Amino acid sequence: MKKILVTGATGQIGSELTIALRSRYGDENVLATDKRPALNELTQSGSFCLLDVRDVSAINQVVEDNNIDTIFHLAALLSAVAEQKPQQAWDVNMNGLLNALEASRKHRCALFFPSSIAAFGTETPPMDTPQDTIQRPTTIYGITKVSGELLCDYYYHRFGVDARGLRYPGLISSSTLPGGGTTDYAVDIFYAAIKSQHYECFLRADTQLDMMYMPDAIDAAIHLMTAGSQQLKHRNAFNVTAMSFTPQQLAAEIQKHIPEFTITYSIDPLRQAIADSWPRHMNDSAARTEWGWQAQFDLPAMVKDMLEKITLK
């Protein structure tokens, strides 16, 4: 990775991944792009330009003008937003990825694609979810994720594009708010705990989902993209997880630091149905074996760090 392009860079992952890539590969070697303007840190530490991933000639131009050799393709609509705008979600998530893969094919770039626990559905084994298993998602977001996984495999086998990817669980971070997903409660709860010592959760108390703290998510992306090609049997769509909990368990962990914190539940049927269709705990042994994946943060360590960081804001 010498010259890197990040799409969707102002989002929850991109805003932190861009900074991590800049500190590792040099500020001048990581170009951040998004369809919406960027705020302070992204523009202060390096270059930023507006780029709509649905515009294939614009992506090709940016890649060519900047001698890009690696694309972290993050631009997408997340699960809850996608369910409100399914046609737009298909357009951004699928045509955007196809355009990024085409630019990678033409300009011989490697490409990172973040899939999700959403690529699974109700017919998938929910516990110890295998790396290779049935994938029949019932959300438009999940459909774009499983299609994206297949498209990345296709571009690798058919055109030799070095496309690699992870199936992320819900990501928790303190820097940028999440962009409209089903796991957003696990971030919102921290702001509410600090501001009003109370949170009204939109998922049921016993909704168990895989989760990961952002430093681990960033480390996983960079680690996978720098792994030796020979090591990878799967290459795309690696299950990765760090912890698995319910809203009730997360609240109990927060109460260890803020004893007066309370949680109540007001269920959003749309997001509850989405969460109920996802696995509860993935098996990530393929990632561990093939490229040495290991998370650093468990639930107690993540909660402690989140509360410290958000209190300081």
Per CB under 6 A, does 225 bind ligand AKB?
Answer: no
The partner in contact with residue 182, picked from ligand AKB, ligand NAD, none with C-beta cut-offs of 5 to 8 angstroms by kind, is: ligand AKB
Residue 96 interacts with ligand NAD (CB under 6 A): yes or no: yes
Task: Report how far residue 84's alpha carbon sits from residue 87's, in angstroms, rounded to the nearest whole number.
Answer: 9
Binding residue for ligand NAD, selected from 78, 103, 109, 111, defined by CB under 6 A: 78
- Spatial CA neighbour of 84 closest among 253, 274, 237: 274
Residue nearer to ligand NAD on the CB measure, 175 or 262:
175
Residues 113-152, one symbol each (x = binds ligand NAD by CB under 6 A, - = not), give: -x-x------------------------------------
Choice between 75 and 307, CB closer to ligand NAD? 75
* Segment 50 to 69, residues that bind ligand NAD, using CB under 6 A: 51-54
Map the footprint of ligand AKB across residues 149-178, applying CB under 6 A.
170
The sign of the CA dihedral 154, 73, 121, 299 is: positive
HSE, CB side, 13 Å, CA atoms: give it for residue 188: 16
Letters for 73-92 (x = contact with ligand AKB by CB under 6 A, - = none) are -----xx-------------
Closest residue by Cα to residue 76 from 50, 37, 115: 115
Report if residue 279 touches ligand AKB, rule: CB under 6 A: no
For 238, the token pair is 């690696």
Distance CA 153, CA 138 (A): 22
Tell me whether residue 277 is exposed, middle or buried, using C-beta atoms within 10 angstroms of its C-beta: 0 to 12, 13 to 18, 19 or more. Answer: buried
Find the part of the chain contacting ligand NAD (CB under 6 A) among 131-139, 177-185, 266-274, 300-308: 177-185
Helices (H), the chain: 14-25, 40-45, 56-65, 79-84, 86-90, 96-107, 140-159, 185-196, 214-226, 247-255, 269-276, 285-291, 299-312
201 touches, from ligand NAD, ligand AKB, none (C-beta below 5 to 8 Å by class): none
Binding-site ranges for ligand NAD (CB under 6 A): 7-8, 10-14, 34-36, 51-54, 74-76, 78, 92, 96, 114, 116, 168, 170-171, 178-179, 181, 183
Binding-site ranges for ligand AKB (CB under 6 A): 78-79, 116-118, 141, 170, 181-183
